[in-house]
Amino acid sequence: MKVSITSIKLNSIWKLPSLAMYVMKIKRQSKKAGALEVASKGGFGTIHYTMSLWPNEESIESFSKSDAHLEALKKSRQLAEEIQVLTMDGKALPALEEAKVLLEKEGRTIRY
């Protein structure tokens, strides 16, 4: 199984309503796409986290390049100043503090 961990640092606190709208749509999409577990962990202020558990890498790839997730990716430059992403093997979602450490150590960082 695969675990996907993402953090998004908004470029403004005023972008939070837009982020919330995308997260709601993406959570629905991920459940339909076969995610075994999905969690969005509110961060503080402009930093927010999502995690999901998938049966395999192919299901993550298919999900990430379609529908609501693709729409959000296209808008990410307008919403965020930084996004960190990590996909790893795992049987369960990590605790939030562990996820933060994993992202810092092993995640891929995209800065706008």
Residue-wise pLDDT tens digits, 24-41: 999 999 989 999 999 987
* DSSP 8-state code for residue 93: P
Residues 6+ apart with CB under 8 A from 92: 3, 37, 53
Q: Residue 63 belongs to what domain range?
A: 2-111
Contact 82, 109 (CB under 8 A): yes
Does pLDDT of 44 surpass 80?
Answer: no
Q: How many domains does the chain have?
A: 1
Query: CA gyration radius for the chain?
Result: 13
**89-102 pLDDT tens trace:** 999 999 999 999 99
What is the predicted pLDDT for the residue at 87?
A: 97
Q: What CATH number should be reported for the domain holding residue 44?
A: 3.30.70.100
